[in-house]
Amino acid sequence: MEKKVLIYSTPSCHFCHLAKDYFDENNIAYTEYDVAADLEKRKEMVDKSGQMGVPVIIIGDELTVGFDQPKIASMLGL
């Protein structure tokens, strides 16, 4: 079973774009929340991660902040 992938991002975030490109290149389905426009999702992101930095990526039950490709690959089981 594939793990659910969520990414909290902003349109101007370079590392958010890198993460989404990585998911696209590896055919990983994800749900994106634009926390610059969606205040409710911004609060949810801060509640889950404890900070305002983006991207916040949740894969299954694991959370990471930023674009750490080896860590994300490990979280995905790649």
Query: So what's the pLDDT on residue 44?
Result: 97
What phi, psi does 11 have (nearest 5°)? -60, -30
DSSP lists the bridge partners of residue 6 as: 31, 58
What CATH number did the domain enclosing 53 receive? Answer: 3.40.30.10
Residue 45 forms part of a structural domain: yes
Question: Which tens digit of pLDDT belongs to each residue from 57-73?
Answer: 999 999 999 999 999 99
What is residue 67's three-state secondary structure?
coil
Number of domains into which the chain is organized:
1
Residue 69 forms part of a structural domain: no
Structure tokens at 56: 């916040």
Does the pLDDT value for residue 2 go beyond 80?
no
Domain that holds residue 12: 5-62
Q: For residue 21, what pLDDT band results from cuts at 50, 70 and 90?
A: very high
Residue 58 forms part of a structural domain: yes
CA distance 36 to 71: 25
Query: So what's the pLDDT on residue 63?
Result: 97
Question: What is the reported pTM?
Answer: 0.94
Residue 73 forms part of a structural domain: no
